[in-house]
Amino acid sequence: MMRSRTVAFLALLLLPLVTWAEPVAVHNLRLWQAPDHTRLVLDLSGSLEHRLTRLRDPERLVVEMDNARLTENLAPLDVSRSYIAAVRGAEPLDGKLRITLELRRPVRAQSFVLKPYGQYGHRLVIDLYDEAVLETAPTPEPRAAAPARPVLRPRDLVVAIDAGHGGEDPGAIGRKWRTREKDVTLAIARELYKLVNATPGMKAVLIRDGDYFIELHKRRQKADRFKADVFVSIHADSLPGSRARKVSGSSVYALSDRGASSALARALADSENASDWIGGIDPREMDNDVRRLIGDLTKEATIADGSKLGGDILGGLRSVGPLHNERVAHAGFAVLKQPIPAILVETAFISNPREEQLLRSSAHQKRIAQGIHGGLKRATPWIVARREAGSAPALVATPVVPAAPRPSDPPSSMREHVVKSGETLAAIARLYEIHIDALRFLNGIQGDDLQVGTRLRIPARSGDS
Ligand SMILES: [Zn+2]
């Protein structure tokens, strides 16, 4: 008797929670246009269930969200350069919110939700891929499968220029003028592109040429598709705290498979690697990417060549201004995991107001590009010599096939950590050298609360067995 009364009482308590749940508010829309897709991002006040329905004649996509509403005074969205002709919202009485995207062309739509990360709260991301582009896109020839060509045919040195961040991911933000790293990196990349293409024997490829986000593994894939010989990723550094206002100078980083050269380098790699979480990558794809990185250990030769290339680039940058690091620093940057010499240039500290001002000036952007270009010219002879001596295959990463997991093992790309009494999320993040936000993201944790006995997914690192 007693028990059933308690149950009934509890049910009464729960009932209002279920029926009166506050609808999730859609309070902002953002649109990014990439060469092959439009990305629409909805900022949400909480998580929600959603469905996509495609309708034809005319082409439309309906985004249906359960228990959601549009915030009043939603800022108008400029759709002029996207695949979307118009966005219309409707809130029928069933509590669902339907947003209809009127499309300019047939698209293949993909969507995923993102948990809060960095400056963003809950997000719903809808990617619209141009069907025509998808059908005509050539399938990239795998580098390793290219036939050995005994004829020494001179070929231009192909330089992949990667402007860091973009779209949803602004990168670091300057303190004085709120300069966005993604704009500075693109401006410098375009300057470098012009210089490289004006140099006989060199050819440039821009990995990103606009304000849109590209996942880190897709940046690597694009360089591979264009048969790039070297990869240069351009960034601007930032440090927190007031002391950071005085820190200045440029640095060059190369990949390391033996840990970072300093705690600062590791923190920097963590923050640059977080780009995927901020820019928005489908969590399912993230799992695949972790797996891909594990199976694709870059050979020691490539890592050594990255350091050598970094030394040449540092030489070029010395003429631009003071260096923050006199030597090439090392850390596990995901974007540098490539079978070609690859480096990441932190052009200056955007957190230092004096350098932020320099980074905004087109004259200084040009000088930085000239410095990097000088370094590339210095590196060209040895990279070409190595390629033409037929040692290129040595630079190709041999995929390491992990041993088949036993049925009881977690997937090979993931380890497991069982939370013990007294452990904090921060301590576990430190233990596995993983960014705390990444740990939250992979395990769907918000805040810092941990239950003893919880099994946490931890990405395995290269070299782990
Ligand atoms: Zn960056």
pLDDT single digits (tens) 345-354: 999 999 999 9
Q: How far is the CA of 162 from the centre of ligand 1 (A)?
A: 11
- Centroid of ligand 1 to alpha carbon of 368 (angstroms): 16
Residue 130 host element (H or E) = strand 122-130
**CA 291 to ligand 1 center in whole angstroms:** 23
Ligand 1 being an ion, which residues bring their Cβ within 5 A of it? 164, 171, 235, 272
Residue 299 CA to ligand 1 centre (angstroms):
25
Residues 6+ apart with CB under 8 A from 6: none
* DSSP code at position 245: G
Q: Residue 220 carries which side chain, given as an amino acid letter? A: R
Taking CA atoms, 413 is separated from 246, 325, 403, 465, in Å, by: 40, 33, 12, 10
To the question of domain 18-136 being in CATH 2.60.40.3500, the answer is: yes
Q: What is the pLDDT of residue 389?
A: 66
How would DSSP label each residue in 409-458?
A: SPPTTEEEEEPPTT--HHHHHHHTT--HHHHHHHHT--SS---TT-EEEE
User: Do the Cβ atoms of 373 and 195 come closer than 8 Å?
Assistant: yes
Higher pLDDT, 385 or 82: 82
Q: What is the CA radius of gyration of the chain?
A: 25
CA 186 to ligand 1 centroid distance, Å = 11
CA distances from 344 to 268, 300, 314 (A): 11, 18, 11
Helix (H) or strand (E) run with residue 112 in it: strand 107-114
Across the beta sheet with 97-103, the strand order is 50-55, 60-65, 97-103, 84-90
Ligand 1 centroid, distance to 265 Cα (angstroms): 12
Cα(171) to centroid of ligand 1, in Å?
Answer: 5
Judged by average pLDDT, the poorest of 172-186, 192-206, 253-267, 400-414 is 400-414
User: According to the CATH classification, is domain 414-459 in 3.10.350.10?
Assistant: yes
CB of 189 closer than 8 Å to CB of 163: yes
pLDDT in tens, 73-95: 778 889 999 999 999 988 777 88
Distances (CA, A) of 189 to 220, 235, 236, 306, 307: 16, 10, 12, 19, 21
- Which segments of the chain belong to CATH 3.10.350.10? 414-459
Stretch(es) of the chain classified as CATH 3.40.630.40: 153-395
Which two structure tokens, joined as six digits, stand for 121? 């709260």
Rounded to 10 deg, the angle between the 300-317 and 362-386 helix axes is 140
Question: Distance between CA atoms of 207 and 204, rounded to whole angstroms?
Answer: 10
d(CA 321, CA 358): 11
Class of the CATH-defined domain 153-395: alpha beta
Q: What's the whole-model pTM score?
A: 0.76
- Which of 51-60, 333-342, 423-432 is predicted most confidently? 51-60
How many whole angstroms from 13 Cα to the centroid of ligand 1? 49
Residue with tokens 């308590």: 13
Amino acid identity of residue 165, one-letter, is H
Expressed in angstroms and rounded, the spacing between residue 238 Cα and the centre of ligand 1 is: 8
Residue 235 predicted with pLDDT over 90:
yes
Output the CA 54–ligand 1 centroid distance in Å: 37
**Which residue spans of the chain are classified as CATH 2.60.40.3500?**
18-136
CA of 14 to the centre of ligand 1 (A): 46
Please state which of the ranges 139-153, 204-218, 251-265, 377-391 shows the lowest mean pLDDT: 139-153
